[in-house]
Amino acid sequence: MKNESIKVFQRKKKNILELWMTNQLADQGLREDLMSNEDLRAQSEELVSAFIDTLDDVTINDGRATAFEKVLDILSGISISRAKQGYSPRETGIFVLSLKDALQQVLRDEIKDVAVLYDQSQKISKIIDSFSIETFETFIKGREEVILRQTDEISEISTPVIRVWDNIVALPIIGTLDSARTQVVMESLLQEIVETGSNIAILDISGVPTVDSLVAQHLIKTVSATRLMGAECIISGIRPEIAQTVVHLGIDLTNIITKSTLASALKAAFAMQQLEVVKRQRQNNMVVNN
């Protein structure tokens, strides 16, 4: 004999959808700026249909049953899309939990035996709670993907290689220099050296808050990679506190050209290229002579 709640849900599928939509639309946190009511209804209808169609005497007792794979796939897709759209975990959780309220309300209206109602309500609660956990886990994964993508984009934006003159490129580094970012810095710098045919690269660390032994090692690796490409590297932005730290840590930068400012580094680069910068007396413009 088919479970009582299954028969109720199959008979009242449309009622469940309408109750669920009413619950969602009544929530003060409804994000109409992120999703239209029509799209919300389409998502809800797809999930309700998949859930009720999957219910049988086995799945009603096990929210983690393999038969719920389609339902979980739908929830997974919804969670990931909401994470990317900017929904909060609470807003995504309410989407699922408000379905439980609709299901239990239909059970209360249709089942008059208190003992049967309690038993069926408990089973539905366990299933939806299991779905909620899956939804949260998937949402977190989706949000992590967004964060990783944004981190990669920020790393690319924050490591712009600038062509300051013929055969001279500069890369201003702002923020902490860790292993992952060093890799991005090296790739960007080496690629620009190849594309421009530059033989001098300036690494400006004025925007790096602190330099410890690990940061210094990353800089040395970048300089070594640059030299392997046939270009000389100049490190600028060596502030007094950084110089003291480097000496205190015993870091050897004697084989690397270092300057206190980007202007000093550029002047050194011009000298290495046998270029001379002069100032016109009347027009007050900078002129570079070979």
* Backbone phi and psi for residue 18, each to the nearest 5 degrees, phi listed first: -65, -40
Please compute the mean of the pLDDT values over residues 83-103 and round it to a whole number.
84
For the chain, the straight-line distance linking the first and the last C-alpha, in angstroms and rounded, comes to: 96
Tell me, yes or no, if the pTM score tops 0.85.
Answer: no
**What pLDDT does 206 receive?**
87
- Which of 231, 229, 205, 207 lies closest to 219 in space, CA to CA? 205
- Alpha-carbon span 107 to 215, nearest angstrom: 63
Residue intervals of the chain classified under CATH 1.10.490.130 are 4-155
pLDDT in tens, 143-196: 777 777 776 666 655 568 888 889 999 988 887 777 777 787 888 889 899 999
Beta bridge partners of 289: 276
Which superfamily does CATH assign the domain made up of 162-289 to? STAS domain (3.30.750.24)
Residue intervals of the chain classified under CATH 3.30.750.24 are 162-289
Q: Domain 4-155 carries which CATH code?
A: 1.10.490.130
pLDDT in tens, 211-262: 788 888 888 888 899 999 999 999 999 888 888 888 888 887 888 899 999 9
**What pLDDT does 49 receive?**
93
